[in-house]
Amino acid sequence: MTASVESEGSETLEAREPGKPPSRGRGSRAVVLGAIAALGVVFGDIGTSPLYALKTVFTLDGGAVRPNESDVYGVISLMFWSITIIVSIKYLAILMRADNDGEGGVMALAALAQRLYAKTAGKAGILLVIGIVGVSLFYGDSIITPAISVLSAVEGLDVSLPAITHLVIPIAVVILVGLFAVQRFGTGKVGRLFGPIMVLWFIVLGLAGLLMVIQYPAVLLGLSPSYAVVFIVAHPAISFIAMGAVVLVITGAEALYADMGHFGRSPIRRAWFALVFPALILNYLGQAALVLHNPAATANPFFLLFPDWARLPMVVLATAATVIASQAVISGAFSLTRQAVQLGLLPPLTIRQTSEREGGQIYLPAVNALLFIGVIVVMLAFRSSDRLATAYGVSVTGALVVDTVLLLLVARPLWHWRPWKLVVAAVVFGGLELTFLAGNLSKVINGGWVPLLIAAAVIVVMTTWRRGRQLVLEDRLKKEGSLSQFIDDVRSQKLPRVSGIAIFPHPNKESTPLALRANVKHNHVLHEHVIIVSVTIARVPHVPLSEAFTYDDLGYFDDGIEHLSIRFGFSDRPDLPRALRAACHAHVLPLEAGAFKHASYFISRGTIRTTGAKKMARWRRSLFVALAHNAADPAARFALPPLRTVTMGSDVEI
């Protein structure tokens, strides 16, 4: 007999445990505070692009773009319309509506697409591959962004204090060590700390640009799209080169989408249109006006925009802002990694919840450490923001293109877009982003190979783990045997029963948990209540309580052996004890919630051994074994009490 829980409302296991009062809705004050916190995490990356974007345009290919009126107006027009089309329209206005139950990012979008095309044969695998490519490119961005952002800020010392420019690299290293060290405190606390700094940053950006625009108002002509068209038509080769640097103004667009689960859609949109967008545009216009009237300013138009007395304070403020820029991609990497783990694309990792209220605010120690090592290595290898800029655009533009492909796939079934809308979106978004990508592919040999190498490594790890996991499950199924047959055998043996509850986490109810089979074989005893628990991860971030549980007495209501299926969202923390108590409160399990206070948990876990079978390349088998050995302890992953958890089982082979 099976039964599903029925519960009022649409609460989730992550939202609250049954028996506790539901949380109250957010007021306008909370939204404002959320917008400020979002400023401290989400917009750091795109908000610090003025430090190096225009400067990079004029240093590409030996100065192919000249500081004259037609080139400057053309570049500013490209920048303005790139930000407007890609960030304001594509991400803020459209893609954020394609959230997966509040979660954003390429993995959430790919999971949403898989759900929408679940009945279409063959598409699920393709969509998964697209998602893997997208998240892999994002990891490349996550490593390069902190390096280029912090370096570009500290390099302001070249302008304000030339005598200590030899300390740029050591200072940058110290700053990055501090940034990665504070990640354990959580993005919410980091956001509240950084938010006011970013408010000041964007106000200063806007004012500095506005003062220059007031002096030279003709630069506003650059906002017209006609100048971009004229620039491209008149100088096709030069404009193609320029596009490789113009893309730097939209770095961070994917990060702000991935961070949506941390802060929500509304705070991010409000912060963008009220402060970030106007401040960025004013600053780019101010830099353009400065370059037009002082061509030598192309050496560093951002810092030269300020008077001498303000440059050193701006180095300090810019350094703080670039630390925050790094936070945007780090927190985005945490979100995407958890989603990948829950979808079975990465081995289980230790995930620490850093907020009691916000399920999206998490810290992954292993990812934090790997990102830190990668950032330091990249920075020490390239040693300047100019050289890093050549490696930057490939991962950014690749991630943009992947998001557009997924957007086009979900738009028709999700919003019922007509074909002409899909064509317009493909031409406008896809055309612009493919141009960016083509412009950056020309830089592969000069450093663009770095993010591609990082992405390739992530793809290998994800596909290897997924394939190896399938092989392990196949071998385990052979050794586990039929659960129904096992129950019949146990009933015929009339084994002694001891008091208490024994819980066996297990992927299904068809086969027998190895730990249960080993316990009966070696101890010749069963607990009074045996509950086999199958945890599945849904392709939505959060599962309503009404859909979370399915109970089965496995054919006999009097033998004390039961099965419970628990569905978690891929952004939920799979806290097993909490979920079991919730099942009791919801009257799914015929037990009192307090009975689990002394329950024992038995984990089926065996040593993985490689064989000579040709199911997988030898090097991939070795990689899978290494990944499995370094995976998080299942007891920690399911939040099991260490003193009441036992690991049992047998070897499995691949």
Transcribe 33-89 into DSSP letters.
HHHHHHHTTTSHHHHTGGGTHHHHHHHGGGT-S-SSHHHHHHHHHHHHHHIIIIIII
Instruction: For residue 9, tell me if it sits in a domain.
Output: no
Residue 91 has pLDDT above 90, yes or no: yes
Handedness of CA 198, 204, 210, 216 (dihedral sign): negative
- Does residue 359 belong to any structural domain of this protein? yes
Q: Which amino acid is at 400?
A: L
Q: How confident is residue 160, by pLDDT bands cut at 50, 70 and 90?
A: confident
Do 520 and 372 lie in a common domain?
A: no
Q: What percent of the chain has pLDDT over 90?
A: 26
Interval 12-62: pLDDT, tens: 565 444 334 334 344 566 667 767 777 767 787 788 889 888 988 888 777
Is the pLDDT at 523 greater than 70, yes or no? yes
**pLDDT recorded at residue 30:** 63
Q: How far apart are CA 354 and CA 189, in angstroms?
A: 9
**In a domain? residue 295:** yes
d(CA 86, CA 82): 6
Closest by CA to 105, choosing from 256, 251, 247, 325, is: 256
Q: What is the pLDDT of residue 356?
A: 52
Which structure tokens are listed for 327?
């936070």
CB neighbours of 255 closer than 8 A, spacing ≥ 6? Answer: 42, 45, 46, 138, 141, 145, 328, 329, 332
Is 158 contained in some domain?
yes
462 inside domain: no
Give the integer Cα–Cα distance in Å for 642 and 271.
44
Are residues 48 and 152 located together in one domain of the fold? yes
pLDDT of residue 3: 43
- φ/ψ of 601, rounded to 5, equals -115, 130
Q: What is the pLDDT of residue 122?
A: 65
What pLDDT digit, counting tens, does each position of 595-647 carry? Answer: 888 899 998 876 676 666 667 888 888 888 888 888 877 888 888 988 888 88
State yes or no: pLDDT of 179 exceeds 70: yes
Nearest alpha carbon to residue 280 among 335, 203, 395, 389: 203
pLDDT mean across residues, the chain: 83
Whether the per-residue pLDDT at 490 is higher than 80: the answer is yes
Position 4 confidence tier, pLDDT thresholds 50, 70, 90: very low
**Share above pLDDT 70 across residues of the chain, in percent, rounded to a whole number:** 88
Q: Which two three-digit tokens encode residue 489?
A: 């055998």
Q: Please check whether residue 26 lies inside any domain of the structure.
A: no
- In a shared domain, residues 534 and 441: no
What local confidence, expressed as pLDDT, does residue 17 receive?
45
Is residue 452 within 8 A of residue 140, CB to CB? The reply is yes
Binned at pLDDT 50, 70 and 90, residue 72 comes out as very high
479 and 425 in one domain?
Answer: no
Name the token pair of 249.
Answer: 């103004």
Phi, psi angles (nearest 5°) of residue 641: -70, 120
Q: Is residue 4 within a helix (H) or strand (E), and if so which, with residue range?
A: strand 2-4
Match 């260490």 to its residue by tokens: 642
On whether the CB atoms of residues 56 and 244 are closer than 8 A, the answer is: no
Q: In this structure, are residues 12 and 569 in contact, taking their beta carbons and an 8 Å threshold?
A: yes
Under 8 Å CB-to-CB from 147, ≥6 apart: which residues? 172, 176, 375, 378, 379, 382, 388
Q: What is the CATH number of the domain that holds 229?
A: 1.20.1740.10
In a domain, 29, yes or no: no
Does residue 243 surpass a pLDDT of 60?
yes
Distance in angstroms (rounded) separating the CA atoms of residues 10 and 17: 13
Question: Do the Cβ atoms of 549 and 561 come closer than 8 Å?
Answer: no
pLDDT of residue 156: 81
Orientation of helix 514-523 relative to helix 449-480, angle to 10°: 40
Domain end marker among 447, 480, 507:
447
Taking only the tens place, the pLDDT of each residue in 135-145 is 888 888 788 88
Cβ(200)–Cβ(54) below 8 Å: no
- Of 447, 481, 512, which residue constitutes the final position of a domain? 447
Report residue 561 CA to chain centroid gap: 40
Are residue 105 and residue 198 in the same domain, yes or no?
yes
Contacts of 101 (CB under 8 A, 6+ apart): 540, 541, 542, 569, 571
pLDDT band at 452; cut points 50, 70, 90: confident
Whether 262 shows a pLDDT value over 50: the answer reads yes
Residues 475 and 438 in one domain: no
Average pLDDT over residues 125-148: 84
| Same domain, residue pair 474 and 439 | no
- My answer on whether 376 and 477 are in the same domain is no
CA distance 104 to 10: 20
| Domain-ending residue, one of 412, 447, 482 | 447
240 vs 443, which has greater pLDDT?
A: 240
**Structural domain containing residue 117:** 40-447
Higher pLDDT, 154 or 124: 154
Residue 494's pLDDT band, with cuts at 50, 70 and 90, is confident
| pLDDT of 468 strictly over 60 | yes
Q: Cβ(652)–Cβ(609) under 8 Å?
A: yes
The verdict on 443 and 480 lying in the same domain is no
| Position 425 pLDDT exceeds 90 | yes
Number of folded domains that form the chain: 2
468: phi then psi, degrees, rounded to nearest 5: -65, -35
Lowest-confidence pick of 133-142, 182-191, 325-334, 381-390? 182-191
Three-state secondary-structure class, residue 499: strand
Q: Are residues 437 and 542 in the same domain?
A: no
Contact 101/541 with Cβ under 8 angstroms? yes
- Residue 525 and residue 429 share a domain: no
pLDDT for res 31: 63
One domain, residues 169 and 97 = yes
pLDDT band for 493, please (50, 70, 90 cuts).
Answer: confident
Report strand pairing: 497-505 vs 526-538.
parallel
pLDDT for 11: 59
Q: Under 8 Å CB-to-CB from 295, ≥6 apart: which residues?
A: 67
Core vs surface per residue 627-646: b (16+ CB within 10 A) or e: bbeebbebbebbebeeebbe
Residue 389 to residue 447: CA distance in whole angstroms? 9
Is residue 219 within 8 Å of 290, Cβ to Cβ?
Answer: no
Note whether residue 174 is domain-resident: yes
Please state, in angstroms and rounded to a whole number, the distance separating the CA atoms of residues 43 and 40. Answer: 7
